């Protein structure tokens, strides 16, 4: 039995942007002023807890042990600051950044794979000086805007494995509903932190896929080019 047959199809009648006759994108276009674009600065954000906590902090101030949403897009980005946030006081743009985690622009710039700041031990607590962040743009039933969840390097493999597990069964990760929880882990230096864990709750109703694909096609390109902000990097230091 394949994974797609084993999972229950998710009822998308609860998703505002996937309902027949939905005009979410028209509403957004009417809301933004001429020349304005939607980017990550405009999105509500979910925050991971400190010290190995087991609940997410949601944009509405509530907390949840598990997020249940469609992962519209996964984007891996990198950012490097020569001075620590403690030294600089924060607020400055990164000295070098990469929006695709392949080529860095700035100082030192170049191919991320071969950069010394991408080596283990180049940063604090035996980590990397260049911060790797996994951005997940999530779609919730009651929202016409994606919600941003930025994950630290410690959760990169879990997010990657989630999308690969679906691909192994011919499933697109952005057409499934994910359950994203937290487990407590510990660094080599004995520091407790929270690590994301993923499970597939089921595929989106096939009848809603055209609406979902159209929404993604129009909204994702406006989000992935947004520069990395300091708050995002500090949370994932």
H helix or E strand, kind and range, residue 72: strand 67-80
Q: Is 95 left (phi over 0), alpha (psi -120 to 50) or beta?
A: alpha
Q: Where are the alpha helices (DSSP H) in 63-195?
A: 85-88, 156-168
Contacts of 78 (CB under 8 A, 6+ apart): 97, 98, 101, 104, 112, 118, 130, 131, 132, 133
Instruction: Report the 10 Å Cβ neighbour count for 108.
Output: 13
Residue extents of the structural domains in the chain:
3-73+136-235
- Give me the phi and psi of 204, to 5 degrees please: -70, 145
Please report which confidence band the pLDDT of residue 91 belongs to, taking 50, 70 and 90 as the band edges: low
Q: Where are the alpha helices (DSSP H) in 40-182?
A: 85-88, 156-168
Measured CA angle at 232 (ends 220, 185), to 5 deg: 110
d(CA 91, CA 80): 13
For 112-151, the pLDDT digits (tens) are 999 999 998 888 777 889 988 999 999 998 888 899 999 9
pTM comes to: 0.87
């Amino acid at each position: 039995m394949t994974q797609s047959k084993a999972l229950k199809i998710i009822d998308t009648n609860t998703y505002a942007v996937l309902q027949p006759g939905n005009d979410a994108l028209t509403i957004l276009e009417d809301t933004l002023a001429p020349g304005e674009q939607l980017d990550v600065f405009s999105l509500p954000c979910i925050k991971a807890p400190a010290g190995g906590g087991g609940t997410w902090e949601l944009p509405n101030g509530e907390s949840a042990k598990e997020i249940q949403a469609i992962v519209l897009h996964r984007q891996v980005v990198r950012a490097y600051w020569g001075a620590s946030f403690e030294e600089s006081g924060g607020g400055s743009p990164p000295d070098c950044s990469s929006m695709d985690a392949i080529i860095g622009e700035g100082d030192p710039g170049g191919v991320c794979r071969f950069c010394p700041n991408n080596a283990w031990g180049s940063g604090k607590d035996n980590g990397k000086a260049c911060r790797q962040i996994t951005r997940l743009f999530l779609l919730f039933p009651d929202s016409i805007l994606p919600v941003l969840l930025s994950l630290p390097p410690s959760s990169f493999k879990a997010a990657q494995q989630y999308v690969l597990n679906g691909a192994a069964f011919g499933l697109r990760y952005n057409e499934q509903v994910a359950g994203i929880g937290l487990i407590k882990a510990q660094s080599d230096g004995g520091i407790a932190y929270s690590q994301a864990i993923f499970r597939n709750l089921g595929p989106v109703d096939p009848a809603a896929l055209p609406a979902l694909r159209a929404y993604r096609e129009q909204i994702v390109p406006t989000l992935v080019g947004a520069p990395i902000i300091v708050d995002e990097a500090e949370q994932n230091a």
